[in-house]
Amino acid sequence: MAENRVVVTGLGVVSPIGIGVDEFWDRLVSGQNGITRITHFDPTDFSTHIAAEVKDFDPEKWIEKKMAKRMDRFTHFAMAASEMALADAGLHSYGFDKNRAGVIIGSGIGGSQTIEDGYISLFAKGPNSIQPFFVLKVLINMAASMVSITYGLKGHISAPSVACSTGANAIGDAYRIIQRGDADIMVAGSSEACITSIPFAGFCATRSMTRQNDDPEHASKPFDKNRDGFVMGEGAGIIILENLEHAVNRKARIYSELVGYGNVADSYHFTAPHPEGDGMIRVMERAIKDAKINKEQIGYINAHGTSTVQNDLIESKAIEKVFGEHSKLLKISSNKSMIGHLLSAAASVECIATVMSVYKDKIPPTINYSEPDPDCSLDYVPNKAINFKIEAAASNSFGFGGGNVCLILKKYRG
């Protein structure tokens, strides 16, 4: 049986530089930075004082007040991004079969603020102080479940948690479900609201975050010689994937076609990537093979590009290994230079940026790129967006624990 073609018909974003895909995209291509001193808690005693927080987010714009109180911030983000994506796809006014529409929305940490508040209450006031909705607020699957319940989506539901590659896992798995004919529509992505004191202290302890506290705007500098660590961010990205025939029949606007998905494990280390980029190489090659395209058709890679010394170096070398001479012609950029590292939400938000690049033939820059690293010798689209005809693009996502995902998006040709 022939595989179904899968297209992107809706996008929803909550990010440190904007809420909604238009605001997010406009600020991304203009090189706007969303990194500031932390306001969610007092960071004075932490080694890192900066983060990419979502600003001016009011959950009651998207969720009824009583229900919003029963959800953690990460679920608020997922609900808002899902509403935007469904509206963007024109599905609110279209009578689709909800038994053939599913939800895959993951998270890495889940309800961290709820957990912290619960600990404080427990040890200050005792077990009877814990509220009935505590467990429901912290569970990672609650974002997917609340979207399913709110919109009556009765197909496949799951909530992956694969560290920084979570969103790409969700999108790739949703792609497979539609491809094999088990759904017409999937709501897919990830959400993270992790800028709270316990996970932040934990990441400080790993020494993987930047300590350039005095200059937040220039602290995240992927591929630059002076990079010293990532900047934590928060947000959510949701994509509506759809069977091509279903989308065409309802005259949907199609952003791009998802044609390739690779997912492999490093099987190497808790946090460090394989020093030779083994997993990165294999996952890009697998995604390209799945896409049934030539490597030379890919013109742009939205890099994982964390601004950590080893990740950026190894990713660059892996791209060179996979693409050979063609790597010199590739355009590569890292959204994390502007939005920080959204942990589990990074992959889905960056996939949305990749979709927009393919749709608009425009590549956002890697900002804060001032001193080239001689060991990272590719074209990272420094500091200014460029217009660039894109037939196909790759979105790379690599997570703690060795999870590697690559998604291939192609320009839709009727």
Domain shared by 121 and 192, yes or no: yes
pLDDT in tens, 186-238: 999 999 999 999 999 999 999 999 999 999 999 999 999 999 999 999 999 99
Contact present, 87 and 187 (Cβ < 8 Å): no
**Of 49, 156, 274, 304, catalytic:** 304
Both tokens assigned to 381: 């689209």
- pLDDT value, residue 1: 63
φ, ψ at 348 (rounded to 5°): -75, -40
Contact present, 40 and 53 (Cβ < 8 Å): yes
**Of 76, 156, 164, 204, catalytic:** 164
Of 226, 249, 272, the last residue of a domain is 249
Which residues constitute the domain of residue 389?
Answer: 260-410
Of 249, 274, 294, the last residue of a domain is 249
Question: DSSP strand E in 247-329: where?
Answer: 256-265, 298-302
Let me know if 304 is a catalytic residue: yes
DSSP state of 364: -
- pLDDT value, residue 273: 83
CATH number at residue 84: 3.40.47.10
Q: Is the pLDDT assigned to residue 269 strictly greater than 90?
A: no
**Of 49, 76, 246, 341, catalytic:** 341
Collapsed DSSP state (helix, strand, coil) of residue 26: helix
Domain shared by 206 and 280, yes or no: no
Both tokens assigned to 108: 């890495």
pLDDT cut 70: percent of the chain above it: 100
Domain shared by 326 and 382, yes or no: yes
Instruction: Tell me the pairing of strands 6-15 and 256-265.
Output: antiparallel
Number of domains in the chain: 2
Neighbours of 356 (CB within 10 A): 24
Domain shared by 301 and 182, yes or no: no
pLDDT in tens, 158-185: 999 999 999 999 999 999 999 999 999 9
Q: What is the mean pLDDT of residues 335-352?
A: 98
pLDDT in tens, 70-107: 999 999 999 999 999 999 999 998 999 999 999 999 99
Q: What is the mean pLDDT of the chain?
A: 96
Of 222, 249, 276, the last residue of a domain is 249
